[in-house]
Each structure stands twice: as structure tokens, then as C-alpha cells.
Amino acid sequence: MKNPTRKRILITGGAGFLGSHLCERLLTDGHDVLCVDNFFTGTKDNIVHLMGNPHFEMLRHDVTFPLYIEVDEIYNLACPASPIHYQFDPVQTTKTSVHGAINMLGLAKRIKAKIFQASTSEVYGDPKVHPQPEEYWGHVNPVGIRSCYDEGKRCAETLFFDYRRQHNLRIKVARIFNTYGPRMHPNDGRVVSNFIVQALKGEPITIYGDGKQTRSFCYVDDLVEGFIRLMNTADDFTGPVNLGNPGEFTIRELAEQVIALTGSKSKLVFKTLPSDDPMQRCPDIALAQEKLGWRPGVPLEKGLVKTIAYFESMLRDA
């Protein structure tokens, strides 16, 4: 007999960094999980420990093509999310954001499923408002090297809200700020994984610009909790809602903390700042606190210790 509280949940990009943690959490919560991934940036290593679970299923599929299945909820996480990966094939990145959104929205419409969109703080571009509230429309270069991701995600949000208005679809949109933790790709070019790997190898730590640009860093478990709380809100609350840690650190402060926690002898080296790299990025999470009762609980130092342990194990086994 089917458990009435057990949902069938599709996670696109489920073998990626965030997706694999979401798969794990939803299985722990007692649901059936279908993980869909084309393995462009995701890896089976992230989900191999779930393969023996009878409530977990893996499907190799690219969301730029339609998918015909039956589920109760959809989490659309599929898209390369680091500059190195999304700039490798920018046309495919835009297709994944836009065609992928169209295909998943079409599926949700057909089967009457609730659907979650993993949007991004990149929709704010290089912001002129600080910290960034959801009402801020952003300051985005539509023709730059980051535009495939920034504008792709902005268009996906447009599609979600038009499906809501035109077809009364049940949607949830989260704007994700910098997130870190175990299972980050070691070569994804993100600042946390870059610094940790360089520190553990004793290599110079590369800082772009003067290191005074700021970021906020959210531990992955906190973010996944935000996802689930947003998905479980009443249908009249759609978002977009910022999910991130409002604690703000300069890139140099992050580098120095990683060196201290790893005991590394790495030195800092400074290189030219890439174009369109934002100088400030910090979420205003008042809406998430009000509507979801959510705020991150893992301090940066504690999260870094867990992340460093993961990369130490990865480098040891390589």
C-alpha cells in the first residue's frame, strides 16, 4: 500500500553538487526520487551511495529534450553553474536554462505537478543595490561572457511566471547565492573550491582583483532546507525568494581563513579581475525569514572545516 505522504519527486541536475544533496535529503524524508542528469558537470560519484536505495532511480537525460514521466513535484536544477563550465559551451548553457525550463514547465503543466526553479543571484548582475532584495531588477550585461548564464536564468524566471499567469501552474522560484560544501567540483573555478584545493596542494592561492570584492557563503545543508521549505509553502506564494547567507566576507578574508584552517603555507597571488565579475554579492533574506521561517545556521568556519575534509579525502584517493 502506497504511503500517502510519500511523493514522487523529479530532480533535474540531480547528480550535481546541489542536486545530489537534495536527492539525499528527500530520500531521508521518505520520498521516491528520480534523479535526471546528462553528466555534463554532474557525476555518478555524487549519487553512487544512493544507488542501492529502492526509492531512488537514475535517468541519463538532457533537459533540452522533452521528458515524459509521472511525478508529483519537480525540482529544476539542471544547468552548469560555474563560469568555467557555463562558458565552455555558452550556447548549450542558454539552451539548458531556456529550453530546459520550457520542457520542465510543459511536463509540470501536463501532469499538474508543482515545480521549483533553481534561479540564481546572477540575475542581479553587478548590483547597484546592496544587499540585494527580490524587488531589485538587476544590473546585467546582456552581451558579455557571463550572459549565457545570467540572461538564461532571467529568461527562465520569465517563463515560470508566464506559465503561472497563463496556465495557473504551481511554481516556486529560489534565487541561490554562493553555496559551498562537500561534492563541489574541484575544477569548477568557484572561489571556495579553488582556494581549498590550492591550499591543500600548497600552491599559490589565486585572487582576482584586489580581493576586496565581497561574497556571502551558504553551506549546502542550509540551502537544501530552504529549498524544501519553499516547496512546502502555500500555492499562492511563488517567490522569487533569495536563499543565501547574509554574512559578508571579502575574497581575501576567505583566502586567509582557508589558509588558517588547512595549515597551508600557500601565498596569495593577485591577477586581473575577469569582466562582469560583480564587486558585491549579498542577499537580503527578510522574505525567506518571513515566509519560510528560514535563515542559515552553519557559520563559515564550521562549513569550511567539513568542505576541507571532503577535498582532503578526494585528493588522497586521487
Catalytically annotated residues: 149
Q: Decide if 116 contacts 176 (C-beta within 8 A).
A: no
Q: Decide if 239 contacts 174 (C-beta within 8 A).
A: yes
Residue 314 has φ and ψ, to the nearest 5°, of: -65, -45
Measured torsion, CA atoms of residues 202, 203, 205, 206, in degrees rounded to the nearest 10: -170
Residue 197: all three cell numbers together = 584545493
Q: Decide if 243 contacts 176 (C-beta within 8 A).
A: yes
Q: Decide if 214 contacts 282 (C-beta within 8 A).
A: yes
Q: Which amino acid is at 87?
A: Q
Q: Is 291 exposed, middle or buried (0-12, 13-18, 19+ CB in 10 A)?
A: middle
Residue 67 has φ and ψ, to the nearest 5°, of: -130, 135
